Structure 1
Amino acid sequence: MKLSERLEVIANLVDKNTILADIGTDHGYIPVYLLKNKKIKYAVAADINRGPLENAKKEVLLNNLEDKVDLRLGSGLSVLKKGEVDEVIIAGMGGVLISKILEESFEVAKSLKKIILQPMQASDELRKYLYSEKFEIIDEVLVKEDFRIYEIIVVNYGGKKHKIEDDIYYEIGKKLVEKNDPLLLEFIDKKINEYEKIIKKIEGKEGQKIESRIGECKYKIEKLKELKGNVC
């Protein structure tokens, strides 16, 4: 079984011999892959929609893993009891939705040894939530698939509020900078390009909100260029 680059990087962040829950499992590719490679002991594969869960069931049956996977229909971490699993993957959702999932089952989230998060957008909002709610970001990884660079954020509940020294680290994870991720400079350039496109799209229009948005984008471009200069 071959995973996509994104899913493979996520799977490789799971610790060996763990009990895993994959939230929003879709086809169940990650749990099946990890079980087939004897990396994990057991998996809960959950999805809020019945269709994807049926797809996951087919994949589980195809690989004769019925005794190793518990398929659950439900929303977020509500399908889990506290202490039931060691690690959780929440991938392929927006950063705001991921924050909501953690908040709605906060006691379950706090009990986990590791949570692997892969936001599709609004990673800055997710980091703000994590820092404010005393989660510790223990690792971050970038992975390129086709023309897109994805952010993967690995956290656990540390119980200590972290003060971020520069708000640019909401935009670009500090761990990525500390470890000088191989895709970091390309990722920063993509961010700069995105903000330049926003300015170009709305420039010339009038209104306080427009002016505020342009100012915000220019500020972020300046901070991103400053960060890039420090990394180079």
Structure 2
Amino acid sequence: MKLDARLEAVRAFVPAGGTVADIGTDHGYLAAALVQSGQAERVIASDLNLGPCEAARRTVREANLRESIEVRQGDGLTVLAPGEAQTVCIAGMGGALMTDILAAAPLVMKKLQTLVLQPMNGAYELRHYLYTHSWHVADEALVVADDRIYTVIRAEKGRRKMPDALTLEIGPVLWERKPELLRHHIESLLFGARRAVAGMEKSERAKKSAKYKEAQKRIKALEERLVW
């Protein structure tokens, strides 16, 4: 199963062996690749909606993987029994939605060992949730697909010191290792921050707010992180 660069980066972060749950599986391509590569012994592929589940079942059937991949329709981690999977993958959703999915299933979370997460946005909120719930960022990667930079996070159990807010936004492991795409990543965060400030500057009331001052401070802090 040939994956695009984004899903390949997710696959690369999955520990070998055991059972993996692919939440929001869509067409089931990641699930199939995990089994075909020998990385996962079994995959539970789930999606909230019937259409993606049918597409995933078709992928599984055509790849002759019905003995190794089970497709379930359901909401988030509620498709799993505690201890049924060791690793959970969630890709292509916003960080806030991922946080809600994780928070909604504490008993399942308690038995998991690894989370592989690829947020489309809201990475700060997601990382903050992990650190406040006895998880931490063990590894991170930046990857380009379809002319966009994506962040992939591998989280593991274990309480660690909470990074500062800006490092949580950029990514603690990314900031520590300084990968090739890090400046592009920070520049994309800056673009969004400057656009938000430009919107506030259209209102005199907004320009006098604490939110505006905080946004300006954030821009300055991100600009300082471009130099190392």
- Fold match, TM over 0.5? yes
The more displaced of 199-208 and 12-21 is 199-208
**Aligned equivalents of 2:206 and 2:35: distance in 1?**
54
2:200 is matched by which residue type in structure 1?
Answer: I
Q: Give the corresponding residue for 1:221.
A: 219
Q: CA deviation at 1:119?
A: 0.9
Q: CA deviation at 1:208?
A: 4.3
The more displaced of 20-29 and 31-40 is 31-40
**Aligned equivalents of 1:143 and 1:116: distance in 2?**
14
Q: CA deviation at 1:210?
A: 7.2
2:161 is matched by which residue type in structure 1?
Answer: H
1:94 is matched by which residue type in structure 2?
Answer: G
Q: Quick one: structure 1 residues 209 and 111, their matched pair in 2 at CA, closer, same or farther if it must change by over 3 Å?
A: farther
Percent identity at matched positions? 37
Q: CA deviation at 1:147?
A: 2.1
Contact kept, 8 Å, 2:206 with 2:212, in 1: the verdict is: no
Contact kept, 8 Å, 2:193 with 2:219, in 1: the verdict is: yes
Q: Give the corresponding residue for 1:162.
A: 161
Q: Quick one: structure 1 residues 89 and 210, their matched pair in 2 at CA, closer, same or farther if it must change by over 3 Å?
A: farther
Q: Give the corresponding residue for 1:5.
A: 5
Superposed CA offset, 1:159-195 (max 9, x none): x36332x221121111001111221111111111221
**Aligned equivalents of 1:9 and 1:2: distance in 2?**
12
Any stretches of 5+ residues in structure 1 without a counterpart?
none
1:178 is matched by which residue type in structure 2?
Answer: E
Contact kept, 8 Å, 1:110 with 1:156, in 2: the verdict is: no
Contact kept, 8 Å, 1:42 with 1:68, in 2: the verdict is: yes
TM-score (norm 2): 0.94
Which residues in structure 2 correspond to 1:118-157 (within 5 Å)? 118-157=118-157
The more displaced of 36-45 and 48-57 is 36-45
Q: Tell me, what secondary structure is at the counterpart of 1:81?
A: coil
Q: CA deviation at 1:130?
A: 1.2
**Aligned equivalents of 1:94 and 1:209: distance in 2?**
29
Which residues in structure 2 correspond to 1:27-38 (within 5 Å)? 27-38=27-38
Q: CA deviation at 1:93?
A: 0.9
Q: Which runs of 4+ in 1 moved over 3 A?
A: 208-213
Contact kept, 8 Å, 1:142 with 1:152, in 2: the verdict is: yes
Number of residues of Structure 1 aligned to a counterpart in Structure 2: 228
Aligned alpha-carbon RMSD (Å): 1.6
Q: Give the corresponding residue for 1:116.
A: 116
TM-score (norm 1): 0.92
Contact kept, 8 Å, 2:25 with 2:56, in 1: the verdict is: yes
Superposed CA offset, 1:41-64 (max 9, x none): 111001111110000000000101
Which residues in structure 2 correspond to 1:20-99 (within 5 Å)? 20-99=20-99
